[in-house]
A and B are shown apart, each in its own frame.
Chain A
Amino acid sequence: MTQLTTVFDFQGQPQQLAKKLGEGGEGVIYPLAQRPEVLVKIYHERELAKRGKILQEKVEAMRGVTQLASEKSVSWPLISVFDAQQRWLGYAMYKAEGKDMFLLAHSMLYKKHFPGLDRRAITGYLINLVQQLKTLQDHGVMIGDYTLHNLLCQPNSDKVTLIDCDSYQLQFNGRHYASPVGTPDMTPIEHHGKAFSDLVRTKESEAFSLAIILFKCLMLGRHPYDIVGGEDPVTNLKRGDFAYGVGNKGIPAGPWYNIWSHMPHRLKSSFIATFTEGANDPAKRTSLEEWLEILTLYGKEIDKDWHEVAITPSEPKPKKYHGNNRSISQSASHC
Chain B
Amino acid sequence: MTHYELATQNDLIENPSPRCPCMVVLDTSSSMSGAPITQLNEGMQTFLQALNEDEVAACSVEVGVITAGSSVREELPFTSALNIDGCNSFSAGGMTPLGGAVNLALQKLEERKAEYKRAGVPYYQPWLVIISDGEPNDSWQAAAAQAKQLSSQNKLVSLVVGVEGANLATLGEFSHRPALMLQGLKFNAFFQWLSASMSRVSQSASTTAQVDLPPMDGWASI
| Partner-B contacts on A (CB < 8 A) | 102-103, 106-109, 147, 149, 183-186, 219-223, 226-230, 232-234, 243, 250-255
A230 pairs with B120, CB closer than 8 A: yes
**Residue among A108, A109, A220 facing the most chain B CB atoms (10 A cut-off):** A108
Q: Are A149 and B119 in contact (CB under 8 A)?
A: no
The reply to whether B208 and A234 form a contact with Cβ atoms under 8 Å apart is yes
What is the CB-to-nearest-CB distance from B208 to chain A, in angstroms, rounded to a whole number? Answer: 5
In the complex, what distance in Å separates the CA atom of A230 from the CA atom of B15? 18
Is the C-beta of B13 less than 8 angstroms from some C-beta in chain A? Answer: yes
Given A109-B55, A250-B120, residue A183 in contact with residue B204 (CB < 8 A): yes
| B170 interfacial contact with A, CB 8 Å | no
A217 CB, min distance to chain B CBs, angstroms: 12
Q: Which residue of B has the minimal Cβ distance to A226?
A: B120
Q: A149-B203, A184-B209, A185-B207 are in contact. Are A106 and B17 (CB under 8 A)?
A: yes
Note all chain A residues with C-beta closer than 8 A to B122. Answer: 223, 226, 232-233
Q: Are A107 and B16 in contact (CB under 8 A)?
A: yes
Q: Contact partner of A108 among B59, B117, B118, B120, CB < 8 A?
A: B59
Q: How far is the CB of B14 from chain A (nearest CB, A)?
A: 6
The reply to whether the CB of B220 lies closer than 8 angstroms to some CB of chain A is no
The answer on a CB contact under 8 Å between A252 and B205 is: no
In chain B between 180 and 198, which residues have their CB closer than 8 angstroms to a CB of chain A? Answer: none
Which residues does chain A contribute within 8 Å of B205, judged by CB atoms?
147, 183, 185-186
B residues less than 8 Å from A106 (CB atoms) = 16-17, 59
Q: Once the chains are docked, how many angstroms separate the CA of A221 from the CA of B117?
A: 17
Tell whether B206 is near chain A: CB-to-CB under 8 Å. Answer: yes
Q: Which of A103, A228, A234, A254 has the largest count of B CB atoms less than 10 A from its CB?
A: A254
Cβ of B104: which chain A residues have Cβ within 8 Å of it? none
Say yes or no: is B56 at the interface (Cβ < 8 Å to chain A). Answer: yes
Contact, CB under 8 Å: A251 / B55: no
Chain B proximity of A152: nearest CB distance (Å) = 15
B84 interfacial by beta-carbon distance below 8 Å: no
Chain B interface bracket (under 10, 10 to 19, 20 to 34, 35 or more) = 20 to 34
Answer whether A229 and B55 are a contact pair too, CB < 8 Å, given A183-B205, A183-B206.
no
Q: Which residues of B contact A102 (CB under 8 A)?
A: 56
State which residues 67-87 of B face A: CB under 8 Å.
82
Q: How far is the CB of A119 from chain B (nearest CB, A)?
A: 17
Partner of A232, one of B15, B56, B203, B208: B208
Q: Judge whether A233 and B13 touch: CB under 8 Å.
A: no
A–B pairs, 28, beta carbons within 8 Å: A106-B17, A107-B14, A107-B16, A108-B14, A108-B59, A183-B205, A183-B206, A184-B206, A184-B208, A185-B205, A185-B206, A185-B208, A220-B16, A221-B16, A221-B17, A228-B118, A229-B118, A229-B120, A232-B122, A232-B208, A233-B122, A233-B207, A234-B206, A251-B120, A252-B13, A252-B120, A252-B121, A254-B16
Whether B59 pairs with A223 at a CB distance below 8 angstroms is no
Q: Which residues on the A side are within 8 Å of B207 (C-beta)?
A: 185, 232-234
**Chain B, range 95-127, C-beta contacts under 8 Å to A:** 117-123
Are B16 and A253 neighbours in the complex by a CB distance under 8 Å?
Answer: no
User: Which chain A residues border B56 with CB–CB below 8 Å?
Assistant: 102
**A228 partner, pick from B15, B59, B119, B209, beta carbons under 8 A:** B119
In the assembled complex, the CB of B113 is this many whole angstroms from the nearest CB of chain A, namely 11
Which chain B residues border A107 with CB–CB below 8 Å?
Answer: 14-16
With A234-B206, A252-B121 known as contacts, the answer to whether A226 contacts B16 (CB < 8 A) is yes
A186 to B207, CA, bound (A): 11
Shortest Cβ distance from residue A288 to the other chain B in the assembled complex, whole angstroms: 21
Within the complex, the shortest CB–CB distance from B2 to chain A, in Å, comes to 19
**Cβ contacts B13-40/A at 8 Å (1 or 0 each):** 1111100000000000000000000000
B123: chain A residues at CB < 8 Å are 232
Q: B82: nearest residue on chain A (CB-CB)?
A: A108
When distances are taken between beta carbons in the complex, the residues of chain B under 8 Å from A252 are 13, 16, 119-121
Which of B16, B117, B123 is packed against the most chain A CB atoms within 10 Å? B16
Residues of B close to A227: CB separation below 8 A: 120
In the complex the two chains form, what is the Cα distance from A221 to B13 in whole Å?
Answer: 12
CA distance in complex: A108, B208 (Å):
24
A108-B59, A228-B120 known; A254-B14 Cβ under 8 A:
yes
Considering the chains assembled together, what is the distance between the CA atoms of A178 and B206 in angstroms? 21
Specify the chain B residue showing the minimal Cβ separation from A234. B208
For A148, give the chain B residue with the smallest CB separation. Answer: B205
On chain B, the residues within 8 Å of A108 by CB distance are 14-15, 59, 82
Tell me the smallest distance from the CB of B60 to a CB of chain A, in Å: 11
Ranked 3 nearest A-B pairs via Cβ: A252-B120, A183-B205, A228-B120
8 more contacts with CB within 8 A, not counting A109-B59, A184-B209, A222-B16, are A108-B59, A186-B205, A220-B16, A226-B120, A226-B121, A251-B120, A253-B120, A254-B13
User: When chains A and B are docked, how far (Å) is the Cα of A17 from the Cα of B209?
Assistant: 35
